[in-house]
Amino acid sequence: MNRRTLLSAGVSLALGALALPAFAFAGDIPAKVEAPVTISYYNYNLATAGIGGEATKKLIAEFEAANPNIKVNGVGVTSAEISTRVQADVAAGRGPDVAQMVFSDFDFMVHNLGAVALEDIIPTAELKAHFEGISPKGLALGVYEGKTYGLAYTFSTPVLFYNADLFRKAGLDPENPPKTWAEVKVAAKAIVDKAGAEGIATGIFGPSAGDWLFQGLIRSNGASVLSKDRKTLTFASAEGIEAVSMLQDLYKSGVYSNLDISAAMDAMAAGTVGMYLQTSAVQGYLVKGAKGNFELRASTMPRFGDKPVRPNNSGSALVIMSHDPVKQRAAWELMKFMTSKHAYTVITSQIGYLPLRTDIVNDPQYLGEWVKDHPLIQPNLQQLAVLEPWESFPGANYRQIVKTMMDGAEQAVFGGGDPAKAMKDAQANAQKLMPAAMN
């Protein structure tokens, strides 16, 4: 570390401790990075072995080559730990300059970790130019209380993967995958009875699952996790209970396997499960397992009867955490690069997420050829049009609320008791952890 970086680190430390985002105003940051600067970038793809990490490293190297004054210090932290790590490092006064933050921590990130709103630091014209071509639904994911705090980066939608070979064996038509949960039950039963495999597995429950799939599931039945004023938890509404009762029914009829996250993924890749509802981000892994083994296909998330499916995204946004103007500029340059057409081509084709810029899908210069060869991406793209934001819970206990809710839902589905009671108990317990209860 040379004296300049030491000095700038010191300056940013001091600024980080003093400055609040409210004091910054538009056009505050320099137009260019004139002198060498190093920014730290926390990223969870870097923490994964294999393709996600490699592709991210490649993108960082390309960015550094294009911006010789900016050095990016990429730090890999797993997705489950990245918020805790950012929090710990901010607490220690050495937070990251740019972080890839999971959407469920958004409220906390804005209110407690001092994430910087783009509108506060980037000139309006420049911001507008970069937002050109970004899917409006995708852009909305990073908006909080009227300001853009994050740009959706690696995000995906829930996809129903299915094993076409098992479908044929069970006498089902792989051209017509089930579209509703009732159809899922029929198909899963056929797979269990006739093909001798597991019917359906999901990534809804489990220690590392979070609540994103669950939110999409109950929302599709007309429920929500949180009231509009963000004060009352509502996941144990009649619709919410109906949704988990449906899963309980699947489980009780022996067609829904309670596998943990990695076991379910392994089983699907090994060809022993008929259907698998999970983020499209696992596509690369499943494709590898299916190759030469079985035919892997994908469909959209099942809906309830004739209600529209209302999935929310999984994944993360890029957020600027630095309060130093020069570093903010460098961070913004990195953010622009990572959400460019080129970067999204790499992210979509190599890691398996959604392109935030839908105009590259049919552009032969970018994803055009690849999309033709990879029909698995189609359900994911279809759902981008109906995507809704992943709700994050307010207050200091936001994580405990998620855990309590998911424990209750898991109990409702697999616990064998009354789903309504499990959900209502969980809601009552979690409501006590909401900030309003503190006042």
Partner 1 sequence: MTAAIATMGSTEKPLARRRTRTANRRLLPWLYLSPVIATFIVWIYWPLIDAFRLSFYQWDMLPTSPIVPVGWTNYINIFSLPKFWQALGNTGWYIAGLLPLAVALPLAIAIFTADLPPRARMVYRGIIFVPMIVAPVVAAAIWRWLLDPGHGMVNMMMRDFGFRPLRFLQDPNLALWTIVVLTGWKLIGFSTLILSAANANINPSLIEAARMDGASKWEIIRDIRLPLLSSTVLFLVMMTILLGAQWSFSYINVLTGGGPLGSSTNIYYVLWDFGFSSLSVGWSSAAAVILFLGFGALAFVLFRLIDKVSFHDN
Contact residues: partner 1, CB under 8 A = 17, 20, 83-84, 87-88, 90-91, 93, 112-114, 206-208, 258-260, 263, 266-267, 270, 272, 396-400, 403-404, 407, 410-411, 414-415, 425, 429, 432-433, 438
Residue number, 348 or 404, with CB nearest to partner 1: 404
Smallest gap from residue 125 Cβ to partner 1 (A): 31
Identify which of residues 206 and 394 has a Cβ nearer to partner 1 in the complex.
206
Q: Which is nearer to partner 1, 36 or 415 (CB)?
A: 415
Closest CB 306 distance from partner 1, rounded Å: 33
We find the least distance from the C-beta atom of residue 91 to partner 1, in angstroms, to be: 4
CB nearer to partner 1: give 385 or 438.
438
Task: Identify whether the C-beta of residue 188 lies closer than 8 Å to the C-beta of residue 274.
Answer: yes
Contacts of 145 (CB under 8 A, 6+ apart): 110
Taking the least distance from each CB to partner 1, the nearer of 382 and 400 is 400
Q: Which is nearer to partner 1, 391 or 410 (CB)?
A: 410
What minimum distance in Å lies between the beta carbon of 18 and partner 1? 10
Q: For the CB of residue 36, give the shortest distance to partner 1 in the complex, in Å.
A: 29
How many DSSP H helices and E strands does the chain contain?
20, 11
**Between residues 20 and 65, which has the closer beta carbon with respect to partner 1?**
20
**C-alpha closest to that of 9 among 319, 327, 318:** 327
Q: State the minimum distance, in angstroms, from the CB of residue 268 to partner 1.
A: 11
CA angle 53, 368, 174 (to 5 degrees): 85
Q: Report which of 268, 218, 216 is spatially closest to residue 246, judged by C-alpha positions.
A: 218
* Three-state SS sequence of 355-409: CCEHHHCCCCCCCHHHHHHCHHHHHHHHHHCCCECCCCCCCCCHHHHHHHHHHHH
CA 91 to CA 356: how far, in whole Å? 32
Report, in Å, the least distance between residue 34 CB and partner 1: 30
What angle (nearest 5°) sits at the alpha carbon of residue 142, between those of residues 140 and 147? 85
Q: Any idea how long the chain is? A: 439
Dihedral Cα 212, 218, 223, 229, nearest 10 deg: -10
Tokens of 131: 């937002």
Contact present, 321 and 116 (Cβ < 8 Å)? yes
Yes or no: say if 188 and 355 are a contact pair by the CB < 8 Å rule. no
Name which of 97 and 239 has its Cβ closer to partner 1.
Answer: 97
Q: What whole-number distance in Å separates Cα of residue 103 and Cα of residue 391?
A: 8
> Cα separation of 205 and 277, whole Å?
11
Smallest distance from partner 1 to CB 299, Å: 24
Cβ at position 236, least distance to partner 1 in Å: 14
